[in-house]
């Protein structure tokens, strides 16, 4: 592609949280450039972000809904393009083009932040598609979104008394830190200059008292700091985990467990950060004010010169910090990716070893490590440059104050003690500004952590009723699905379209079909784990959405394909922190799952300790424990999704016999026809539609093509 000049525009930074967010983030960058600020979680919904990201067509539709004219060009760049524009990058990514000059091209990458690349790299990565966006009459500006720190204000208000004491102690520390400077002047002018004619005992006594007071105040402030840190960590952790547990399943569909764990760990990093930042702010304000006032009393001219020098120094440092602030977000993003990939590899180490793919996975992991180290190296380089600039400016200011001080002493315009005090006050003034600079660096880290946590806390929670509008009564277990429409992304046609289904109480039905036909998805919908786009699921004639979460858990028991076990006894894992079950009830549930003999044979019985994930027992035993856990609650509706896939035929047949005696409506998902041959009704699904239904005998009698195809596949 030929090189040409495109006048640069500077767009704001908006970092993607997940790989699939790049398109939504790119649109958010351009909207923010035109002063329409939309949070990333809203843009995800508007752009219909799916498992594969967002398509160009959906990106255009979302932009038009915000009042922008969108035009797609597939022949590459051209000199008259209106910037900023979105580029399709490397056939799988979106970036924002800011401009070009000479051999430099300026882009804003939602994954990396602002970057400057040459035309050779641009031509290599650019996929040829340009989305030009321009505002029209329907475009509406919005106010800037609230800062993530606003979420911390309620806790600050709760702890205002402790914060008042902390402020007072920090101000006292600032005064005590400055007090030796006054004694420096007295010591030089009254004692050294007069060759010891003045007594030093009173000076030493006062300084000793102030030192003891400084130690006491420092100890109390540190103790108060730790108390606030602990309280904040506990409250933030509780809020974060509570919110996370109440998010819908679609939130977890696009996020790896390792990513979420790393974001939760941000609580530890944030625990002391606000209080440290608060202390730095108070110290910077109080110590700089006191130092400047004392310095002004000694020498107004020196104080003004020092203030001008420090202002230049402060402005230069702030400019560098503002220019490089996005790098902290890049480092966080790269570290999150690395942590998530590491957790994924460790959880699948058995499969990796079985495939002898250690080296392949290591190369992939090393790429992520290099990405993180590259970002970290970039930060280190910027910090070293910042330190060099700081040292140069500080040394120049200090040298200027020293030279002028010596000149004033030689002209008898100030005493030697005053000059030395001004030198020390300049150092104190600089130290106060260093606290302010530290506050700026902390703010960048805090903002990056708050943004990663906000991806969780700002995601809308699942609308769950805590109180049922249904009068509690004995459930019959009748299930009706009426006009149900559901899909994983509104970008594509729904998986279920106008689905109708009726299951009579006390019957056993089976959902069968090829992989991907929607069996497990329908189970999740019936369990209330997914919310339909439209339509209704009725339990005993009452909409499932009218039941409270407690009532829903009482009515419906689910045995899924994945089992959950934590480190603890078998009894604790079966009861899940509920104390209302007796050992007799537990053993009855274990007997139905064909585990009672095993429990009586092991040494500790129900107190046998399971490891995390129950890795110290077999897969079949884990599956049977999951069945027993569900049966323990005696639900009138039982959903079994491949619940016996890890069992041998003899045990599977015995469990089936036990379940036949269990009075409940049972819905079974299985691939093997021998597992569901005795079901009252078989519903055969194909791409989300019920193509046939009936008992196995009825389907054979009427020579069902769908059943014949399924029978042929199973054999």
The domain segmentation of the chain, as residue ranges, is: 19-135, 148-457, 479-714
pLDDT of residue 297: 78
Superfamily, domain 479-714: P-loop containing nucleotide triphosphate hydrolases (3.40.50.300)
pLDDT of residue 272: 64
Q: Which fold has domain 148-457?
A: ABC transporter transmembrane region fold (1.20.1560)
Q: What's the pLDDT tens digit per position in 40-59?
A: 888 888 888 877 788 888 89
Q: What's the pLDDT tens digit per position in 317-344?
A: 777 766 666 676 677 777 877 877 787 7
Q: Which residues, in sequence order, are CB contacts of 320 under 8 Å at separation 6+?
A: 382, 385, 386, 389
Find out whether 606 and 629 touch, Cβ atoms under 8 Å. Answer: no
Find out whether 636 and 506 touch, Cβ atoms under 8 Å. Answer: no
Task: Match 């000479």 to its residue by tokens.
Answer: 102
CA proximity to 488, closest of 41, 51, 61, 20: 51
- Report the distance separating Cα 114 and Cα 221, nearest Å: 41
Compute the half-sphere exposure of residue 151: CA atoms within 13 Å on the CB side of its CA.
19
List alpha helices for 246-325, DSSP H: 249-253, 257-271, 273-298, 300-324
pLDDT of residue 94: 93
Q: Are strands 556-559 and 637-641 parallel, antiparallel or unpaired?
A: parallel
Q: What's the pLDDT tens digit per position in 132-145?
A: 999 998 898 888 76
Q: In the numeric block, which tokens belong to residue 26?
A: 């790119």
Burial of 598 (0-12, 13-18, 19+ CB in 10 A): middle
Task: Match 């030493």 to its residue by tokens.
Answer: 204
Q: What's the pLDDT tens digit per position in 440-498?
A: 666 666 776 777 777 788 777 776 655 555 555 667 788 999 999 998 777 678 889 99
- Report the distance separating Cα 126 and Cα 103, nearest Å: 15
- Report the distance separating Cα 135 and Cα 515, nearest Å: 46
Find out whether 419 and 263 touch, Cβ atoms under 8 Å. Answer: no
Q: Provide, rounded to the nearest whole percent, the portion of the chain with pLDDT above 70.
A: 86
DSSP state of 643: T
- Report the distance separating Cα 553 and Cα 564, nearest Å: 16
Q: What's the pLDDT tens digit per position in 187-232?
A: 666 666 555 555 667 767 877 888 888 788 888 877 887 887 788 8
Find out whether 416 and 114 touch, Cβ atoms under 8 Å. Answer: no
Secondary-structure class of domain 19-135 per CATH = alpha beta
Burial of 350 (0-12, 13-18, 19+ CB in 10 A): exposed
Our CA angle for 219, 222, 226, nearest 5°, is 140
pLDDT of residue 147: 61
CA proximity to 510, closest of 624, 631, 678: 678
pLDDT of residue 473: 60
CA proximity to 522, closest of 667, 397, 326, 420: 667
């Amino acid at each position: 592609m030929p090189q040409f000049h495109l006048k640069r525009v500077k767009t704001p930074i908006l970092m993607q949280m997940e790989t699939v967010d790049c398109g939504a983030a790119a649109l958010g960058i351009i909207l923010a450039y035109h002063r329409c600020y939309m949070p990333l979680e809203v843009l995800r919904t508007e752009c219909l972000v799916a498992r594969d990201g967002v398509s160009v067509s959906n990106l255009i539709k979302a932009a038009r809904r915000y009042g922008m004219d969108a035009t797609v060009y597939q022949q590459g760049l051209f000199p008259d393009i209106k910037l900023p524009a979105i580029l399709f990058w490397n056939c799988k990514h979106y970036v924002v083009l800011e401009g070009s000059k000479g051999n430099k091209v300026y882009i804003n990458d939602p994954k990396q932040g602002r970057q400057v690349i040459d035309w050779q790299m641009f031509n290599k990565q650019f996929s040829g598609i340009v989305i030009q966006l321009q505002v029209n009459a329907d475009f509406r500006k919005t106010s800037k979104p609230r800062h993530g720190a606003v979420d911390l204000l309620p806790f600050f208000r709760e702890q205002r008394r402790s914060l008042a004491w902390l402020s007072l102690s920090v101000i006292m520390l600032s005064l005590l830190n400055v007090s030796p400077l006054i004694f420096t002047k007295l010591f030089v002018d009254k004692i050294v200059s007069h060759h010891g004619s003045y007594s030093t005992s009173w000076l030493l006594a006062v300084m000793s008292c102030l030192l003891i007071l400084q130690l006491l105040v420092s100890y109390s402030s540190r103790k108060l700091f730790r108390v606030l840190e602990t309280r904040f960590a506990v409250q933030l952790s509780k809020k974060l985990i509570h919110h996370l547990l109440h998010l819908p399943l679609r939130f977890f569909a696009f996020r790896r467990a390792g990513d979420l764990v790393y974001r939760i760990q941000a609580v530890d990093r944030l625990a002391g950060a606000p209080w440290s930042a608060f202390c730095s702010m108070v110290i910077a304000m109080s110590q700089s004010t006191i130092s400047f006032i004392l310095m002004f009393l000694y020498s107004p001219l020196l104080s003004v010169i020092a203030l001008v020098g420090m202002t230049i120094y402060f402005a230069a440092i702030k400019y560098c910090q503002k220019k490089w602030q996005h790098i902290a977000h890049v480092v966080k993003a790269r570290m999150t990716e690395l942590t998530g990939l590491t957790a994924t590899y460790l959880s699948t180490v058995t499969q990796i070893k079985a495939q002898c793919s250690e080296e392949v996975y290591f190369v992939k992991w090393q790429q992520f490590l290099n990405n993180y180290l590259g970002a970290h190296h970039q930060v280190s380089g910027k910090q070293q440059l910042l330190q060099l600039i700081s040292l140069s400016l500080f040394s120049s200011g200090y040298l200027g104050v020293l030279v002028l001080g010596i000149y004033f002493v030689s002209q008898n315009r100030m005493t030697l003690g005053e000059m030395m005090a001004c030198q020390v006050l300049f150092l104190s003034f600089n130290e106060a500004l260093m606290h302010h600079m530290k506050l700026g660096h902390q703010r960048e880290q805090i903002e990056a952590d708050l943004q990663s946590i906000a991806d969780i806390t700002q995601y809308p929670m699942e609308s769950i009723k805590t109180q049922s509008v249904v009068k509690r009564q004995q459930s019959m277990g009748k299930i009706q699905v009426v006009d149900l429409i559901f899909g994983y992304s509104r970008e594509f046609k729904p998986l279920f379209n106008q689905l109708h289904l009726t299951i009579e109480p006390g019957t056993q039905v089976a959902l069968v079909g090829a992989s991907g036909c929607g069996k497990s998805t329908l189970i999740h919908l019936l369990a209330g784990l997914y919310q339909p786009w439209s339509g209704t699921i009725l339990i005993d004639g009452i909409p499932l959405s009218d039941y409270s979460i407690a009532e829903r858990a009482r009515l419906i028991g689910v045995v899924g394909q994945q089992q959950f076990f934590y480190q603890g006894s078998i009894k604790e894992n079966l009861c899940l922190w509920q104390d209302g079950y007796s050992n007799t009830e537990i053993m009855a549930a274990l007997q139905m799952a064909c585990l009672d003999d095993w429990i009586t044979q092991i040494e500790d019985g129900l107190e046998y300790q399971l490891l995390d994930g129950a890795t110290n027992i077999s897969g079949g035993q884990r599956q049977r424990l999951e069945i027993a856990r569900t049966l323990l609650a005696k639900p009138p509706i039982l959903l079994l999704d491949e619940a016996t896939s890890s069992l041998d035929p003899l045990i599977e047949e015995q469990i089936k016999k036990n379940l036949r005696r269990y009075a409940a409506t049972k819905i079974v998902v299985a691939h093997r026809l021998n597992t569901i041959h005795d079901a009252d009704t078989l519903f055969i699904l194909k791409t989300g539609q019920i193509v046939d239904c009936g008992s196995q005998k009825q389907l054979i009698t009427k020579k069902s093509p769908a059943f014949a195809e399924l029978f042929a596949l199973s054999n």
